[in-house]
Amino acid sequence: MCKKLLVAAVALVVGLSVVKHTSLGSLFQVWWKDARASVESKIPIETEIRQLGIEIDRIERDLKKNVSALALDETECQGLEEQVVALRTKQAQVKENISAMEKLLDKPQTERISFNHVTYRPYELTRKLDAAVSEYNGRKADLQAKERLLDGKKRKLEAKFQLISAWRDKRDQLRVTAAQLETDVQMLRLEQMEAKVEFDESQVGKCNERVANIKKRLNQAKAEIKYAAKLGLGTDLGQEREPKTTEEVLKSARQALQDDDGPEKVATGKK
């Protein structure tokens, strides 16, 4: 089993080496780039904007993580600064004591010397001064080292703060850009909706044909009403006329005869 895995691994390495160092490798790269470009071109713009939002959120997480680290660095820096301040205060006090003891011992010697409300013999005060000088010199190196360390931490803290501020500005700019892109896409979709208007020309023709037919029927109905009125047929041509009385028929008959034969024939009844 191990031998088979080893053979497979060697074959894979050889295959990759062949692909990498021959024209076949460059051909695979071309295929890969083309396939990737094809896939990316099919991704909706809205999806890419959401992906951009996810990437910006990652920057936000990185900012918060670095801010936490910055806060820790500042806490350590404050602790070191407190140590430096304490050392400086102590050194100042020791230096003041050294100066005072040096002045007392520099005066004409007496059996007793008072220092800080305590009485010392000259040799006792001398030993105390020697110890204070040793303490001062020994602490001076420690203080100088801590001061250099504090200065370096402060510079590092400021540099990190400036870097985080720059990343925050980049994040804010990306958010503005993402919002603008989202607005641009919405405007694009609106323009596409306005431009994408489909009409069926045949349907318009059908509507115009129906309008013409309706107008024709209206005009026909109006003409029927006009001619029916002229002929005394009423507005409904299909309606039967009411029967006339005998007097109306005789009157119509005499009128017709009078029009054809003249008034004299009608009056005498002669032909």
The whole-chain average pLDDT of the chain stands at: 79
pLDDT tens, 2-28?
555 555 655 555 555 655 555 555 665
- CATH number for region 50-172: 1.10.287
pLDDT at residue number 112: 87
Higher pLDDT, 119 or 253: 119
pLDDT-derived band at 199 (thresholds 50, 70, 90) equals: low
Q: What is the CA radius of gyration of the chain?
A: 58
| Residue whose pair of structure tokens reads 């890419």 in the numeric block | 48
How confident is the model over 169-182, as a mean pLDDT?
Answer: 92
Higher pLDDT, 241 or 175: 175
pLDDT at residue number 243: 65
Question: Helix or strand or coil: residue 111?
Answer: coil
Read off the tokens for 98. Answer: 């050294």
pLDDT at residue number 268: 46
pLDDT at residue number 220: 85
pLDDT at 271 over 50: no
pLDDT-derived band at 203 (thresholds 50, 70, 90) equals: confident
Higher pLDDT, 132 or 23: 132
How confident is the model over 243-251, as a mean pLDDT?
Answer: 72
pLDDT at residue number 174: 92
Beta-carbon contacts of residue 38 (< 8 Å; ≥ 6 apart): none
In the chain, where are the structural domains located?
50-172
pLDDT at residue number 241: 53
pLDDT-derived band at 207 (thresholds 50, 70, 90) equals: confident
Lowest mean pLDDT among 50-59, 79-88, 219-228, 253-262: 253-262
Specify whether the CB–CB gap between 110 and 122 falls below 8 A. Answer: yes
What secondary structure does DSSP assign to 38-90, as a single string? Answer: HHHHHS-HHHHHHHHHHHHHHHHHHHHHHHHHHHHHHHHHHHHHHHHHHHHHH
For the chain, where are the alpha helices, taking DSSP H only?
A: 2-21, 23-42, 45-106, 122-195, 201-231, 246-261, 263-268
pLDDT at residue number 23: 57
Angstrom distances, CA of residue 62 to CA of 71, 164, 181: 14, 9, 24
pLDDT-derived band at 45 (thresholds 50, 70, 90) equals: confident
Higher pLDDT, 136 or 189: 136
Angstrom distances, CA of residue 217 to CA of 146, 223, 224: 109, 10, 10
What secondary structure does DSSP assign to 165-186, as a single string? Answer: HHHHHHHHHHHHHHHHHHHHHH
pLDDT tens, 143-171?
999 999 999 999 999 999 999 999 999 99
Angstrom distances, CA of residue 144 to CA of 91, 139, 148: 11, 9, 6
Question: Helix or strand or coil: residue 107?
Answer: coil
